[in-house]
Amino acid sequence: MQDQKKKIKQKIKEFPDSAGVYLMKNKTGKIIYIGKATSLKNRVGSYFTGALDNKTAALVDDIYKIDHKNTDNVVEALILEANLINKYSPKYNIKLKDNKSFVNIVITDENYPKVLITRPTDKKKIKAKYIFGPYLSKWEAEKVIGLLVNIFDYDNSQENKTSNLYRRYYLKGYSSGKIGDISKKDYQKIIDSIKLFLRGKKERLIRKIEKEMKLLSKEMNYEEATVKRSQLFALNHIRDVAFIRKDELLKNKYEKYPFRAEAYDISNISGQFAVGSLAVFSQGKPNKGEYRKFKINSVVGANDIAMLKEVFERRFAHQDWQMPDLIIIDGGLGQKNIASLVLKRYNLDIPIVAIAKGPDRKGEKLFFSAPRGYVFPDVEFIKKMRDEAHRFAISYHRKLRSMK
């Protein structure tokens, strides 16, 4: 067996320094572990150098042969890994299923399907038509969905950016149900393309889009042909930067966020000890020196919308305070509308997004108000700000109660 290990180590030196999937097999030729790598040579070589934990040491003892499959990028390696694990259920990957820590990407069985991330415990709650995975990381699965939605729900015009954003949030299960100005046929094309990519059929997908592009050009529908060309370019130039370790990504994440974003929340118990909060993020990071709290003075009884109105009126009466580039509200359509009303009174045109819990407190619903062409930050940032405003409001509310 030691001679075989030497052969394996020698073979690893010939592995490419590029992305792909490796398949570890035992003496009978059975696949016992499947993994993905940014660099196949470095990742597979790491199993035979340095100290190993007990599980990995047991795996290495079982290895008799290692094969690999190259991919064009880490994204495709991630998808291939998930599909192969699903197909072969390798012995050392199976613990993933046993502890139910993995996630699946599913396409729902609806008139206008969504592309969602689910866990095994969600099977009864979500009616899935297609299931992909398992994926080891929810974060990676979210990145895959975001990437595919951006590629296939593509619009090269500026006119429909806000409308398309509704649909993109709907596709990922966040929005209030608006899908913008799109036919069911065109919507299904988006779903079909996402489905093909998740099945690992990129080459087939490229041929399909090329055929559609040529037909559109022949019909002199150059605008749609340009969209297809953009999709082809995106498919052939998928960047792995989105799939580096999360800690590394966060270092550069905040550059794309508003210079100043403000999040608001109301906290009370049946109208008592009512307070409002204002949390401020500057370029994506909390700016706690700018946080503000409001004790509600003018509202009697439980009326969150009226309380929010008071908070907005008091906040925007402060013309000396820096104006926000984005407003985020913990609430629904009513909260968004009252914010719009107050802003109009002060002749302000600031993008607003209200974020509320969906039915049965599951998922999120978003309600937008923005000038044409405005593109909102990602949902995770919106949720993070909403949660911070909620935390700040609760802490002030509890302080007032304890003082009473």
Please provide the distance, in angstroms rounded to a whole number, between the alpha carbons at the two ends of the chain. 75
Measure the CA–CA gap between 21 and 329, rounded to whole angstroms.
43
Q: What are the structural domains, with CATH classification, of the chain?
A: 2-98 (3.40.1440.10), 103-244 (no CATH), 254-403 (3.30.420.340)
Question: Which pLDDT score, from 0 to 100, does residue 301 have?
Answer: 83
Question: Which pLDDT score, from 0 to 100, does residue 245 have?
Answer: 46
Measure the CA–CA gap between 59 and 36, rounded to whole angstroms.
16
Question: Which pLDDT score, from 0 to 100, does residue 358 have?
Answer: 65
Query: Residue written as tokens 């919106």?
Result: 382
Which parts of the chain sit beneath pLDDT 50?
96, 98, 158, 244-255
How many Cα atoms sit within 13 Å of 363 on the Cβ side?
Answer: 21
Question: Which pLDDT score, from 0 to 100, does residue 176 have?
Answer: 60
H/E segment holding residue 74: helix 74-88
Strand order in the sheet with 128-135: 115-118, 103-108, 128-135
Q: What backbone phi and psi angles, to 5 degrees, belong to 177?
A: 115, -5
**Is the omega angle on the peptide bond into residue 351 within 30 degrees of 0, that is, cis?**
no
Q: What is the DSSP letter of 265?
A: E
Question: Which two structure tokens, joined as six digits, stand for 3?
Answer: 């001679």
**Cβ neighbours for 92, distance < 8 A, ≥ 6 positions apart:** 24, 32, 33, 55, 58, 59, 62
Measure the CA–CA gap between 240 and 181, rounded to whole angstroms.
32
Helical ranges in 245-290 per DSSP H: 246-253
**Cβ neighbours for 375, distance < 8 A, ≥ 6 positions apart:** 161, 162, 165
Measure the CA–CA gap between 226 and 300, rounded to whole angstroms.
57
